[in-house]
DNA sequence: TTCCTTGTTGAGAACGTTTCTCAACTGATA
DNA sequence: TATCAGTTGAGAAACGTTCTCAACAAGGAA
């Protein structure tokens, strides 16, 4: 996401554009994948040594609030953040903490069609995410 | 799960059958759904007031280890436990902490067939879980 | 029986992650 | 200028979870 879009998005939601917020978002994009708060803080501090831990958490939460980022969960206990690009699923390694994105529009379509025909009682679906658990065959 | 089966399962994995372990498992079954560790501890202490927090966590982890229970994740930060019955998915309420089980063998079959035809490069699938996010229409 | 050995428990300290509190700062507005 | 709302940095605090360790229980061997 370029700065124009970011600024627009922040303004739209009534959040001010600050150097700290830009730094946090840059760090998330730079890290890619699904970084932990710890990694993000580490990277942000490279250019911004005085930023407080709490500030980064607050900023990350505000980004989750305006849907610039999403929380991602492992089966373990640490929160990770995911810069939203488009609808995607996650491959979880059964052995390690590794998480990879998985895009599959064909599958999305199949599932979408399935739930057009078959409703879940008393439940309105907004989104379906697959957790695909398994093992990476090459070094991961 | 009745006690016979539980005892067999514990012995099989080299874990001793203790009153605390039975109490924890009973609490999980009694609570049903996807209780947090906190709720489980609360219920266990009703009949077992002196049980230590760490003991319950240790027992829960040992049950996860022998696959009597599974960890379940919300997007928030609390661990929940799920007494495994059969393959199932989860409905997550977008508004609350409510989680419901969702069983759908027809859908499982469709997804299974899909991945028989289409492999994910460098990845061996062991299990696929759907996180279905949305809203419950009746009071939930 | 007594002595090991092994696994389990209870108590509380310790840990890592996340949230909270609050004074200081910033930028906009009047 | 003064005022105001939002934001930040610093550290304390809270929270869920794990760890440490002495005490205990059960089983086997002597």
B65-80 confidence digits (pLDDT tens): 988 898 887 666 677 8
Name chain A contacts of B79, Cβ cutoff 8 Å. Answer: 77
- The answer to whether the Cβ–Cβ distance between A129 and B134 falls below 8 Å is no
| pLDDT greater than 90 at residue A112 | yes
Strand C nucleotides, any atom under 7 Å to a protein CB: 7-13, 17-21
Rounded CA-CA distance A90/B125 in Å is 12
| Window A17-76, strand C contacts by Cβ < 7 Å | 36-38, 53-54, 57-58, 61
Q: Is the CB of B59 under 7 A from strand C?
A: yes
Alpha carbon distances (Å) from A59 to A24, A48, A71, B132: 7, 14, 13, 27
Task: For residue B24, give the nucleotide whose C1' atom is nearest its CA.
Answer: C9
pLDDT for position B80: 84
In this complex, which of A74, A127, A131 lies closest to B129 when CB atoms are compared?
A131
| pTM for this entry | 0.74
Tokens for A41? Answer: 């803080």
Among residues of chain B, what percentage have pLDDT more than 90?
52
**Residue B81 pairs with which residues in a beta bridge?**
B71
- The answer to whether the Cβ–Cβ distance between A129 and B124 falls below 8 Å is no
């Amino acid at each position: 996401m370029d700065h124009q879009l970011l600024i627009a998005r922040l303004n739209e939601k009534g959040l001010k554009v600050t150097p700290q917020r830009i730094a946090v978002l840059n760090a998330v994009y730079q890290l890619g994948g699904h970084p932990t708060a710890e990694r993000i803080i580490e990277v942000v501090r490279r250019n911004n040594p005085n930023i407080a831990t709490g500030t980064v958490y607050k900023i990350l939460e505000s980004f989750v609030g305006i849907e610039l980022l999403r929380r991602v969960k492992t089966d373990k206990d640490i929160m990770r953040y995911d810069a939203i690009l488009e609808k995607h699923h996650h491959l979880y390694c059964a052995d390690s903490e590794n998480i990879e994105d998985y895009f599959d529009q064909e599958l999305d379509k199949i599932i979408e069609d399935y739930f057009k025909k078959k409703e879940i009682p008393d439940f309105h679906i907004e989104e379906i995410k697959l957790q695909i658990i398994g093992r990476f065959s090459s070094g991961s």
